[in-house]
Amino acid sequence: MNERTTRFGPEQRLAGILTEPSSGTARHGCVLVSAGLMPKAGPYRLYTELARRLAHEGIVSLRFDLGGIGESTPDASGLPLRKRTESEVRAAIDHVSAEFRLDGVTLAGLCSGAEDSLRSADLDERVSGVVMIDPFAYRAPGWFWRHALHRAGRRTLRAFGIHAPITQPGGGRSRVVKYHYMEQPEAAGILARLIERGTRLHFVYTAGVRESFNHPSELAAAFPGLDFRDRVRVDFLPHLDHTQLLAADRSTLVETIARPLRAASATFSAA
Amino acid sequence: MTQSFEESTSPLEAPGRFTESACDGRVRPALGPLPHEQFERRALVAPEATAVRFRDLSLSYAELNRRANRVAHELSARGVGRGARVVVCVEPALDVAVALLGVLKAGAVYVPLDPTYPEARMRAMLDDIEPRAVLTQEKLARKLPVSPALVLPLEYLSQALPVENPRLPVAPSDTAYVFYTSGTTGQPKGVMGSYANLRHYVGVAVEHYDIDERDVMPAIARFSFSISLFELMSPLVTGATLLVLDREHVLDAARMARSLSEVTIFHAGPSLLRGLVAHIREKYADFEAFSRVRHASSGGDTVPPELLEALKEIFANAEIFVIYGSSEISCMGCTFPVPRWRRVTRTFVGRPFDNVSVRVLDAEGSVVPAGVVGEVHFAGEGVTQGYLKRPELTAERYVELEGRRFYRMGDRGRMSRDGWLELVGRTDFQTKIRGMRVELGEVEYELRRAPGVREGVVAARSATDGEKRLVAYVVFDERAAGDAGPSRMGAVRAHLAAKLPDYMVPAVYVELERLPLNENSKVDRRALPEPNEADLRALARGSLRDAESETERALAASFRELLGLKQVSLDDNFFDLGGHSLLALRLTADVERKLGVELDGMEVLREPLEVLARICDERQGRPSLRPTAPVTRRPLERPEIFHFGPEQSLYGVLHGRALDQSETAVLVAGPVGHESARARFVLNKLGRELAREGKPTLLFDYYGCGDSLGSSADADLERWRADIRAACAELRRRTGARRVAALGVRLGALLLCDALPELDLTRLLLWDPVHDGVKHHRSLARMQRAYLKSVAHLRFFRLRAAKPPPNELLGTTFAPAALAELESLSLAPLLGRSSVDIRWLATSGADCDAALASNVGAGIAHLSVECLDVACGWCDVRALEDTIPDVGVTSALRSMLREPA
């Protein structure tokens, strides 16, 4: 595995790390899209670990800071944030495609990085796959009774002192930065187009989105008009928290993502 | 290339390198006879020499002595002698010299009273003075609110009174004068000086400025100000000629300029000098007319460097001095000889006069290290007796230190390593902006250095929301080249933003033609106007574009309401108009309530109103009325990123590049683990800001952390210390800088201190350092336990898997050896291993608050602790995933780094 710093995009203002397999020629690439204000290493180095695992599978990856985060300077064009993000992800795809002769590029991200990946995939036909960790989720029939059961269990554990939620003083912390999930109609449109295009979509849900998602079947239930065919894979890891504090959890998540990607990469190589 | 003074060698004899802010003037024996006795000798030696002139009138030394003797004999005949206060209330004329000398010869107390004062003030002062006699002029006698029996018009003095020197008894310790100064409570207070104080005052001035019988010196200051004694007495004790000028004359620049062509030495306040300089530059083709002037000095207020440069230009044959002091120390505290061969860029006030000591002390009364800001204190022969009838105030301001009596000036200053005192503001000009202490004088200091600014003051004003904001009042130099209007003011703001912590950058800018002055020719802060709408908009770009759509109008209303404005434009950015992070939260809440749309702080921070409205429309699913119109903003300089160190294993980020080896580069040893990601945003911001100040800054990730290679489980603490050393070497290699200061954050600070002896740093900043390895380990474990308990329900049936190994703490796997060594580390013994100047920033909510920090650093003279009243949440499990916003941290760190060591 080799890692090197790189700058790309307009005026070289985006900063990233390229992680390559130490041997062989990578035919598949992955762009890791950062989440929120989190720098390119990801929460608890999740992106770093994922990039190295992918290199082990023969996949080159680029993790980078979006404009204004980490070592990337902000876009001075005055365009709205979403437009800027889309152009920055496109620049990352351009860069990794120019550096390596790739057969396909997968976008991957956590939370806002997941949705930025999905939107960018919709705009760029070079994207052959999207991996989304805790993206949008919409309550579907079945969620309510599962949630009720879960709450009852949680309250029981609280009564025994096993579970103690972190209390937020004053009814919750005021955060300057808040995240908004993609609206359902927009998500449905993008999914339909990507499935039609043959893009592989990998949804990974943790307990971080339990307020909206608590069963693997829920994704399909939330989009009843869509035929997922064999293009959509859903993994639900309810014992993992949103940012995977524990190394074992991060390892589980990394494996959950890496295995299908390795398979996809092998498919490309074989082709 | 112009070299600044502070880069040069000292123009005076070098007293050696100062490590502490303590400087003593030369110790000399008491300077001979009392001033009025020195005058009598002059009258004996050169009786016919001209002693004093006023318009076409003049008096010889012999005649002035005779008249003064008559006054003294008259006072003595009335029983007015030692300790008796005699008010002298005269308009400028020859009488002022007669009265002053007469009172001193009588051994009484000279108390000048300005006849132009309002009657109520005059009455209050006379009640306080309780005069035994009032010397005045016939035309003023009836106006004085005092018993007629006490009034003695000078014109009516009997010619039959003796003219011989009276030889009345007077001791150096007797009170010689009382000068009233303005008090912060609005009540003037009388400063009592002894005959010994007066002898010192006049003596050091005459000796230091080499005044002799060839000199002609005008009396420019009002007689009610203590600096007038310098002007009145210095010529009379040396055989020189005193030139008395009336107020109209002094305030008429053309007449003053003509007068200056016949004097050899003069002193004037900076406000008066600015007007004079402007007039002379405009009206005089060359400055030959002022070639006689051999000494020009200024003081009494901050003397801007550009004014000193102008004086050098106009008075080509003169020595230029700054004089620093106050009535309480007999005016002559320090003096700064302005070098002709070097450009002055800072507000130095120099070194102490003979028999004067100066100390810069911290709040605890300890002398601060050289270069560190503290309050200026003076001791020595000039320190006066105290305040008339105000023992409590006297005890508060005149303090006992080192077994000597010191006067607290109330000025904040710092001393260079060469013993030069520089003023940076007033202690009583402090205010709090959003909970952060702001020294208005420091802001003013930078404001006056901004491009095109001739004069500037800063005031804190409350806005409609009750929040205080800083308002800068600016007078532009019309001769300076450059644009007018918003761009010019924008340049001022850009200058301040580059030089000051962001919370100290004024939010509002008001352009004035001139600053309002009070009767002392000092800036009258109470007369500064309230900012109006136009001022608030001074920084807005282009012309006003009104909100049109419903969303734009709703947002504009929120802007107006929160910022206290009447108008906002579509081009306005919330922060440019004076908004800040707390107001941004209120704005987002307001928008959510009105429009049902959540904006995030980054958008509010970055976008103008028009774009915010577009975002709201999109989130509401409505098409925006306006086409997308990019708004160009200045891009930030991108940092260089690279791998370096052993096997290129460390990730580095370099902000800026040093070209000059005299510049200081900054190494940042950041936190380890999750704290590193939390602090990344704020440390990169700090790096950008420091780079803009000319200080290249290197951030890096330790081995096995962030974007560096490896795994933290493979690194021990020695590896991370080696990383710090490698980063320091890399910084020097890449920038060429010889001087490196370092910032250590949390565990990085502890490691940095451990590696300190090998780093050769010029300064060390510590931001909430880990001070005890055991406690830090326990704190991490405690937070992790709390977090895992909060998510225990997720893995109820997987409890075994949920229990992490003991060396895994909050997302970082430590090598067992690293944890063992961490537990053996403690900050206190490491701090004393180096003599490098250490500054400690303690935020609230850290595991080591300011009080504990002071304890940890107790006994370490080169360490000082600054407290910032914000919580970074290092030990708060609820903040585990929050990026630390810039809540004043970068500002504080930049300030701590900017103060010279």
How large is the ipTM?
A: 0.91
CATH class of the B35-171 domain in this structure = alpha beta
What is the phi/psi pair of residue A150, to 5°? Answer: -60, -45
Extract the tokens encoding B468: 């205080």
Whether the Cβ atoms of residue B869 and residue B342 lie closer than 8 Å to each other:
no
Give B45-93 pLDDT, tens digit per residue.
999 999 999 999 999 999 999 999 999 999 999 999 999 999 999 999 9
| More confident of the two residues B222 and B500 | B222
In this prediction, residue A174 carries a pLDDT of 43
* Token duo for residue B461: 């004003």
**Cβ–Cβ gap A17/B883 under 8 Å:** no
User: For B416-568, where are the E strands, in sequence order?
Assistant: 421-426, 430-433, 436-439, 453-462, 468-476, 508-511
| Residue B638 burial by Cβ neighbours in a 10 Å radius (0-12, 13-18, 19+) | middle
Ranges of H-type helices in A160-246: 184-197, 218-222
Tell me the residues of chain A between 240 and 259 that have a Cβ less than 8 Å away from chain B: 240-241, 243, 245-248
- Give the containing element (helix H, strand E) for B109: strand B109-112
Beta strands in chain A (DSSP E): 2-8, 14-20, 28-33, 59-64, 104-110, 127-133, 200-206, 232-237
Determine what percent of chain A is predicted with pLDDT higher than 70. Answer: 90
Burial of B485 (0-12, 13-18, 19+ CB in 10 A): exposed
pLDDT band at B323 (very low <50, low <70, confident <90, very high): very high
Question: Lowest-confidence range among A35-39, B9-13, B542-546, B798-802?
Answer: B9-13
Q: What is the CATH number of domain B641-772+826-898?
A: 3.40.50.1820
pLDDT value at residue B300? 79
Contact A212, A137 (CB under 8 A): yes
Per-residue pLDDT, averaged over B824-833, amounts to 86
Percent of chain B whose pLDDT exceeds 70: 84
* Confidence band of B642 (pLDDT split at 50, 70, 90): very high
Residue A80 contacts B where some CB pair is shorter than 8 Å: yes
Interface check for A159 against chain B (CB to CB < 8 A): the answer is no
Q: What is the pLDDT of residue A176?
A: 43
Q: What was the pLDDT predicted at B635? A: 46
Domain ranges in chain A are 2-164+184-270
Class of domain B550-619: mainly alpha
Number of residues in chain B? 901
pLDDT in tens, A94-147: 999 998 888 889 999 998 899 999 999 999 999 999 999 999 999 888 888 888
Domain B434-535: CATH superfamily, name plus number? ANL, C-terminal domain (3.30.300.30)
Contact B826, B771 (CB under 8 A): yes
Q: In chain A, whose CA is at the least distance from the CA of B581?
A: A176
Confidence class of residue B759 from pLDDT cuts 50, 70 and 90?
confident
Helix (H) or strand (E) segment spanning residue A269: helix A247-270
Output the pLDDT for position B607: 75
pLDDT over 50 at A20, yes or no: yes
The answer to whether the Cβ–Cβ distance between A164 and B789 falls below 8 Å is: yes
pLDDT of residue B578: 62
In this complex, the residue of A3, A76, A175 whose CB is nearest that of residue B634 is A76
Which residues of chain A lie closer than 8 angstroms to B641, CB-CB? 5, 7, 15, 71
Structural element, H or E, at residue B361:
strand B356-361
Q: What is the pLDDT of residues B345-402, one digit of tens each?
A: 777 899 999 999 999 998 778 888 887 888 999 999 999 999 999 998 899 899 998 8
Question: Which residue of chain A is at minimal alpha-carbon distance from B630?
Answer: A78
Between B600, B632, B637, which is nearest A177 by CB?
A: B600
**How close B600 gets to chain A, by Cα (Å)?**
5
Q: What's the whole-number average pLDDT of chain B? A: 83
Residue with tokens 């005092």: B146
Task: Please classify residue B832 by burial: count the beta carbons closer than 10 Å to its beta carbon, then call 0-12 exposed, 13-18 middle and 19+ buried.
Answer: middle
Q: Which residue has the higher pLDDT, A209 or B289?
A: B289
Is A145 strand, coil or helix?
helix
Measure in Å the smallest separation between the Cα of B885 and chain A Cα atoms.
9
Domains B434-535 and B550-619 share a fold: no
Report d(CA A13, CA A252) in Å as an integer: 34
For chain B, give every domain's residue range: 35-171, 434-535, 550-619, 641-772+826-898
CB contact under 8 A, B787 and A166: yes
**pLDDT tens column, B579-604:** 665 677 778 888 888 888 878 766 77
Query: How far does the CA of residue A218 sit from the closest CA of chain B (Å)?
Result: 19
Q: Which of B61, B24, B69 lies closest to B44, judged by CA?
A: B61
Which element (helix H / strand E) includes B678?
A: helix B674-692
On whether the CB atoms of residues A65 and A71 are closer than 8 A, the answer is yes
What is the structure's pLDDT at A11?
A: 85
Nearest to B467 by CA among B568, B570, B558, B581: B581
Determine the pLDDT at residue B503: 62
- Band (pLDDT 50/70/90 cuts) for residue B426 is low
DSSP string, B772-807: BHHHHHHHHHHHHHHHHHHTGGGGGGGHHHHS--TT
Using CB atoms, pick whichever of A43, A73, A246 lies closest to residue B635: A73
Domain A2-164+184-270, architecture per CATH: 3-Layer(aba) Sandwich (3.40)
- With an 8 Å Cβ cutoff, is A209 touching chain B? no
